[in-house]
Homo-oligomer: A and B are copies of this chain.
Amino acid sequence: MPKVLVIGGNAAGMTAAGRARRLDPGLEVTVLERGPHVSSSVCGTPYFISGDVPRAENLIRYTPEAFQERRGARVLTGVAAEKLDLSRRRVVARNLETGREIAFPYDRLLVATGYAPRRIEAAGAELGNIFSLANLSDALAIRSALERRPQRALLVGAGLVNLEMAESLSRRGVAVTMLEKCDHIVPGLDPEMADLVEAELARHGVAVWKGRSVRTFFGNPDGRVQSAWVSGIAEPVAADIVLVYIGVRPETGLARAAGIALGRSGAIAVSERLETSAPSIYAAGNCAETLHLVSNQPVANALGTAANKQGRVAGENLARVPAVFRGVLNTWVVRVFDAAVARTGLTEQEARACGFLPVAAQITAGARARYLGEEPVTLRAIADRASRRLLGVQAVGGGADKRVDVAAVALTAGMKVDEAAQLDLGYAPPYSQVWDPFLVAMNALLRYR
């Protein structure tokens, strides 16, 4: 019975384990997870913290026991892989409860170690009530900190997680200030679109400070944060809870130590079939490098959507059913209070950095008929001037998710603006306009002839 070992019990690892067993019930599959939970929805944690999701269990798809029973793979939590022993085809791990070392032999190995949030370089960063939300355990700690009714939150970094947390904490009655060290919030949007998100935050009472970072956190006698010294602000800023989210990096330590090659992006280099440089070792999910389908450049991707798909592909290859993972567009969507915010492909800034000569069109149109309440959405569409190929779309407002998903398909197909402008999209007054906002944006791009 071939032994399949999976390191990491989240999106990619669990999907792969389940898929491999389904395709080849003759496999002996074991998953090692260092944390206490597997199969948890990290994307759902802001809604658990806000209280929309009542219990942590609602965010867990399978307990280890349920997964074992239903999918036939053994799942061990609290077990941290410490070393890949390639020559003896085994993984040395430690039971975090007992401290005991255990060796797990494998015939085929999947590294699905995910990402880790970047640490902030500021004195006092180890104080209590300073969190980085990266998994369900963090969410439980944050929700428990909210029991003590903090008054003022400082969110350091203005990426997706903190955008969601701004809403979650505001709805729990906490006054929120968001810091961003760059000159615009939301990396992954062009400044013109980020401004719309900033306005939405402001409309809901969130203070946004750009071009600023934390120098030092100060604590109270209990060892919990009570204020922060922020660059360019004379007085310390009061804050009794802090969420740091300044980006993530692929968790590659184990693979690197074993001599497995990393790619240019810093993530583990893999083939289309998700094979690493080491025989019989695969990597999938946010620790593995992938291809950006527009720029054609290797990227590290930190989204659960890609991790799940890669997990499926890895599971198929682990079961010796050949499958390939083509790549990503870094498509994402996030709700910021009343606005949907989404993007796919390349922003204008990214397109320029990738060597395109981008042109941009930004339009605002109704996501539904004006006589049914327009729900305006702003779209920013980027195309390559020379090839006329669509390169990316960003959207803020009503139905931003729909228009960006439409764009994602067009990008995958390498569609030119001319063809995208004639797409036969559905229309009825509650769902769109006769010229869908996506088509309005494409028509605006057509002006560049």
Contacts and interface: CB of A to CB of B under 8 A. Distances in A.
A426 B41 contact: no
Centre residue among A44, A303, A325, A415 by max chain B CB count within 10 A: A44
A428 B308 contact: no
A326 B426 contact: no
B429 A408 contact: no
Interface in A384-410: 399, 401-402, 404-406, 408-410
Interface in A162-184: 164
A425 B413 contact: no
Interface in A325-363: 325-335, 340, 342, 344
Interface stretch (A122-130, A146-154, A430-438): A430-438
A164 B429 CA distance: 11
A238 interface: no
Interface string A303-336: 1111011001000000000000111111111110
Contact of A331 (B43, B330, B419, B424): B424
B371 A47 contact: yes
Contact of A333 (B309, B326, B422, B427): B427
Contacts of A333: 426-428, 431-432
A66 interface: no
Interface in A364-380: 369, 371-372
A59 B408 contact: no
A31 interface: no
A410 B409 contact: yes
A335 B424 contact: no
Contacts of A258: none
Given A401-B402, A405-B405, A431-B335, A369 B41 contact: yes
Contact of A431 (B59, B328, B401): B401
28 contacts: A11-B434, A41-B434, A43-B369, A43-B427, A44-B369, A47-B369, A164-B428, A305-B427, A306-B424, A326-B419, A331-B426, A332-B428, A333-B431, A334-B428, A335-B428, A340-B430, A399-B402, A401-B402, A402-B402, A402-B405, A404-B426, A405-B405, A405-B406, A405-B425, A405-B426, A409-B413, A412-B423, A412-B424
Given A47-B371, A47-B372, A409-B415, 7 more contacts: A164-B428, A312-B443, A325-B422, A333-B427, A344-B426, A408-B425, A409-B413
